[in-house]
Structure 1
């Protein structure tokens, strides 16, 4: 019996440490999410061709989320490289999102 109690204590300490580690991990993750921000590109007006000044005064950080609202009947979203962006062209076989 004494051996069984010793094992139970060992397991309890491990469980307590695991629970404490989980609580600390959750606190760290929550802090990271609390610092991230969600931006709607173009603010209330949404995405348009005149959003060049929209980022002025904003400080974007890793983890921030940019939301693009646009009329899907008139526009689409295609991932492109910097060169594709500059030339306003998508690579062959690119799929619109």
Structure 2
């Protein structure tokens, strides 16, 4: 009986913490966040399916660029003066916490007007496929019918969850009374 309780506890921990890993997307892929190379960031974003819990990573030279999260109105007019959030590290990881549009732009003069801006449309968690993207069949007429590239899982993010999972294993044994 005790063994069965232990197995159930470990399965629950695996489900809770294993299922919380979101996909990680590098904005602009190998080009990154820049005005060089004529990257169409909105075209890039339109080929992805972002979900609540996913992470977008902006990689850029912080001497020449930054990332500003802005409203739709400010996004359209390239106005970075009243941003919602400012990122300046050069490698910013942003977890998408709610569904809907998320607007980002570079606040350096002229960069937004040159195309350094992106509209990230986040799909609610309830619409996340339960099978792999290559085998899932969304409902007919759904906006999800276009195939999207399979996202990558960031190794650093995976390592964090792995460490957290192993840190919680002894706690699970304590809670269920397995040898401690």
Fold match by TM threshold 0.5: yes
Give the whole-Å Cα distance in 1 for the aligned partners of 2:85 and 2:58: 17
Structure number with the higher strand fraction is 2
Cα gap change, 1:85 to 1:73, in 2 (>3 Å): same
1:91 aligned partner: 82
> Which residue, 7, 19, 30 being the options, matches 1:31?
19
Question: What is the CA distance between 1:87 and its match in structure 2?
Answer: 1.7
The runs of 4+ residues in structure 1 deviating greater than 3 Å are 19-22
Q: Is the 8 A contact 2:23 2:54 kept in 1?
A: yes
Structure number with the higher helix fraction is 1
Q: Is the 8 A contact 2:23 2:55 kept in 1?
A: yes
Structure 1 portions without partners, runs of 5+: 1-12
The normalised TM-score by structure 2 is: 0.37
Task: For residue 47 of structure 1, give the secondary structure of its aligned residue in structure 2.
Answer: coil
Structure 2 portions without partners, runs of 5+: 88-180
RCO higher in 1 or 2 (8 Å CA, sep ≥ 6)? 2
The normalised TM-score by structure 1 is: 0.61
The alignment covers a number of residue pairs equal to 81
Question: What is the CA distance between 1:45 and its match in structure 2?
Answer: 0.7
Q: How does 1:1-97 map to 2 (within 5 A)?
A: 22-28=9-15, 29-33=17-21, 36-49=22-35, 50=39, 51-89=41-79, 90-91=81-82, 96-97=86-87
The CA RMSD measured in Å over matched residues stands at: 2.9
